[in-house]
Each structure stands twice: as C-alpha cells, then as structure tokens.
Amino acid sequence: MVGVERPFVEIDDVSMRYGGAEGTLALRHTNMRVAKGEFVAVVGPSGCGKSTLMRLVTGLWPPSAGSVIVAGHEVDGPLSVAGMAFQAPTMLPWRTILQNVMLPLEVVEPHRRRLRANRAMYEEKARKLLALVGLAGFEHKNPHQLSGGMQQRASLCRALIHDPQLLMLDEPFGALDVFTREDLWVELQGVCEVLKPTVILVTHDLKEATFLADRVLIMSARPGRIIAERTVPFPRPRNLDLTYTQPFQELVHDLREHISAARRGEEPAAAPSPEEATHAA
C-alpha cells in the first residue's frame, strides 16, 4: 500500500529444524513483523524456540524454510546492523570495561577501518554510553571489579556502541536479582528513548516484557510459532510504580494464561472473519 512503511523485521513462514530431516523441529511456519523503532518482547513456554528466533533474525543461523528480512534485505549471514546482549555479559577479563565496550568497533564495518584514525572520538562515545547507564568512572576497571548488574550495563553499552539499528536482547537480566533487574529495566528504557533502536527482547519474565515493550508476542510450545500478541497501552516513560497497578497486573495475568494454555498445547480461539462477524451481528 502506498504510504505504508515496510516493517523493519519480517519473518515469513519460517521453520527451523536441527539435526537434519529427522532432527528436532524448533520453529514451524512462524511469522512476525516488527516496525522500525518498535520495542517487541517475545515470550512463551520453555523450549518454544524464542532464542532460535533471535539467532535467525541476527543471521547467526539460516532458516530451514521461509525467509527473514531485515531493513528490506533478506538475511544471509551475521548482521552488522544488529547489536546483541545475552543473559551472561561475557566480558573479556583481560580488557578494561572501556575496551570491552569498544570491542565491536574492532569487528564491525565501517567502524573497523575508521577506529585507528578516530579512536579518541570512539572512546568519548563509549564513555557517554557508560555514563548513560550509570557507569561513569568505571571505564578503566576490569570486569571482576564490577558487580553482575554493572557488567550487564556494560554489556548493553557494548551492544549499542556501533549504532545498531536493531538491538537483540536474549534474557539479558535473567541472572540478576529482582532489584537489580528492575533498576536495569528503567536504565534500558532510558537508553532506548535516547537512541531509538528497533528492539526485540526474548524473556521469560512477563513483568519485564510488559514494562519494557510496546507489543508482546506469545509463542506456542515447540515447534514454536507466534499464536497471540498484546499491545502494551501504558504511556512512556514508565516507572516501577506502574508494576503495582491493576491494569499492569491484569495484562501480566493475561499473558500468563496464554502461556499456560500454550504449555498444554491449546490454541487461542481464532478471531471471527469479517463475514462471520457481520453474520453474527
């Protein structure tokens, strides 16, 4: 349609099987659309293929069937436009925090060829990112000198240092205590408000998904596919007091009910077609 912007991420009828023709079918006929600048969370039962979906979008693995399109181009290898953060921050212990944050600049073009001549500029950019997540003054510390939550903040900076258009987050706060995790929700929200990347978050934490996302996608049990979605209606910026309100808790409960049904192998009722709705009226 003229005037309608193409989705930034398009997953069309994607299936993924591990181990050949007789291997495990992780995803089946999966479809997903994510608009540019949108923050989408993906939730579902354990083993439903959430992390597989992430690896397909970032080009780490090719799909067995279907297509993955990002920024208008079919994905056929690792994406330079994506930044990634995982549950474990995986800081290199022999490098300072500043050096860890700058690591993608040594790999991703065009930054790699510009780094030597523009190192001071890039270092200043890394320092500003670290300041944005409350780590000013820790640039020259080694990872073991930081707490787990501080390392995860640095991991987010590393994912963002090369200005990715797409930020992929795979359970980034799952190993942290509840208080640190909630603090980082607020930090991440603030970073995204400033930098405005397109974000896909994979999480088991339904409160996290509801607090952070514009839209939550719910997956079936394995083989996974998107079976439902919920738009998050709460205005931004959001604060943690929101999580204690009845509308917030009702949305979390609704997500939990869908996932419980998915674990039992049940499908949500299909919406009536326009013809059926007209006839019923």
Contact 218, 44 (CB under 8 A): yes
Distance, in Å, from the CA atom of 236 to the CA atom of 127, rounded to the nearest integer, reads: 26
What pLDDT, on a 0 to 100 scale, did the predictor assign at position 4?
Answer: 67
For residues 237-256, average pLDDT: 96
User: CA 97 → CA 25, 51, 167, 221, distances in Å?
Assistant: 39, 27, 20, 39
Distance, in Å, from the CA atom of 111 to the CA atom of 107, rounded to the nearest integer, reads: 8
State yes or no: pLDDT of 1 exceeds 70.
no
What pLDDT, on a 0 to 100 scale, did the predictor assign at position 3?
Answer: 58
Indicate whether 215 belongs to any domain.
no
Indicate whether 114 belongs to any domain.
yes
What pLDDT, on a 0 to 100 scale, did the predictor assign at position 275?
Answer: 34
Indicate whether 105 belongs to any domain.
yes
pLDDT band, very low/low/confident/very high, at 271 (cuts 50, 70, 90): very low
What pLDDT, on a 0 to 100 scale, did the predictor assign at position 63?
Answer: 93
Indicate whether 138 belongs to any domain.
yes
pLDDT band, very low/low/confident/very high, at 272 (cuts 50, 70, 90): very low
Average pLDDT of the chain?
88
What predicted TM-score, i.e. pTM, was given to this entire model? 0.87
**Structure tokens belonging to residue 161:** 């240092």
Indicate whether 136 belongs to any domain.
yes
State yes or no: pLDDT of 269 exceeds 60.
no
State yes or no: pLDDT of 99 exceeds 90.
yes
What pLDDT, on a 0 to 100 scale, did the predictor assign at position 244?
Answer: 96
Indicate whether 25 belongs to any domain.
no
For residues 200-215, average pLDDT: 96
- Residues 6 or more apart from 202 whose CB is under 8 A from it? 41, 42, 50, 51, 53, 54, 169, 170, 171
Indicate whether 119 belongs to any domain.
yes
What pLDDT, on a 0 to 100 scale, did the predictor assign at position 168?
Answer: 93
Q: How many domains, the chain?
A: 1
Q: In this structure, are strands 73-74 and 65-70 parallel, antiparallel, or unpaired? A: antiparallel
For residues 47-55, average pLDDT: 89
Phi and psi for 127 in degrees, rounded to 5?
A: -65, -40
Quick one: angle between helices 148-160 and 178-195, nearest 10? 20
Residue range(s) defining the domain that contains residue 144: 89-164
What pLDDT, on a 0 to 100 scale, did the predictor assign at position 137?
Answer: 94
For residues 140-169, average pLDDT: 91
Contact 9, 69 (CB under 8 A): yes
Indicate whether 132 belongs to any domain.
yes
Which range of 8-12, 81-85, 186-190, 193-197 scores highest in mean pLDDT? It is 8-12
